[in-house]
């Protein structure tokens, strides 16, 4: 089966997206690219994530968007995934969610500021892309433009999209952005959140690059 490994990975994370509350129903979509073959595996449109089988995953040509393998209709947001694979070398997987706190904040048209240091998995902050109708090239272009310099973006009146070197990374970013959106809502109910400086977030971004890969050097206490 063409891109069997990628198909199974997309199915696994699609189920997680439902069970962990990052989307509802058949909303949202997930993809992984194989850049050596110039192909991407993406979730089909309108099928329950818990019922998706490997043969339901659609394989598209990254350059043209044409179906290479699969009988199902690919996600309506396939262009929004494909644009990142065409023009960003650091993104090999994309996760698009309709998680409630990210979607809620997107309805304000405002970015998510650095309310918590964990947001550094995505960047200094998370911008909000201009609104465009779902499934359109305009939305894909808006998302791509807004996500320059970061790995996550809110989609105005819609949800969020994240990218990573692996699907595990892209999904982790989506989880943490949703968590930070929730914290932002909570903080707003009791006062004005204390926003971390760009300098501090840049520091955390650098620290995260080696997180779990080396033992920290400690200062004298």
Closest C-alpha among 3, 99, 101, 18 to residue 58: 3
What is the chain's Cα-based Rg? 18
77 catalytic? Reply is yes
Instruction: Record the tokens describing residue 113, joined without a space.
Output: 């500021």
User: Of these residues, 9, 77, 169, 182, which one is catalytic?
Assistant: 77
Query: 15's torsion region: left (phi>0), alpha (psi -120 to 50) or beta?
Result: alpha
Query: 191's torsion region: left (phi>0), alpha (psi -120 to 50) or beta?
Result: left
Q: Which residues are catalytic?
A: 77
């Amino acid at each position: 089966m063409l891109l069997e490994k990628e198909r199974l990975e997309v199915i696994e994370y699609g189920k997680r997206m439902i069970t962990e509350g990052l989307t509802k129903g058949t909303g949202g979509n997930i993809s992984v690219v194989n850049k050596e073959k110039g192909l991407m595996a993406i979730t089909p449109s309108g099928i329950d994530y818990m019922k998706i089988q490997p043969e339901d995953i659609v394989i598209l040509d990254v350059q043209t968007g044409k179906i290479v393998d699969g009988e199902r209709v690919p996600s309506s947001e396939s262009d929004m995934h494909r644009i990142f694979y065409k023009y960003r070398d650091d993104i090999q997987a994309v996760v698009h969610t309709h998680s409630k706190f990210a979607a809620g904040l997107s309805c304000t048209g405002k970015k998510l500021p650095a309310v918590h240091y964990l947001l550094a998995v995505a960047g200094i902050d998370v911008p909000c892309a201009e609104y465009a109708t779902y499934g359109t090239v305009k939305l894909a272009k808006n998302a791509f433009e807004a996500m320059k310099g970061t790995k996550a973006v809110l989609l105005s009146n819609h949800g969020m999209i994240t990218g990573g070197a692996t699907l595990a990374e892209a999904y982790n970013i989506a989880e943490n952005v949703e968590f930070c959106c929730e914290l932002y809502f909570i903080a707003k109910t009791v006062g004005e959140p204390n926003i971390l400086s760009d300098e501090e977030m840049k520091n955390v971004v650098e620290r995260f690059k080696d997180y779990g890969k080396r033992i920290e050097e400690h200062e004298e206490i």
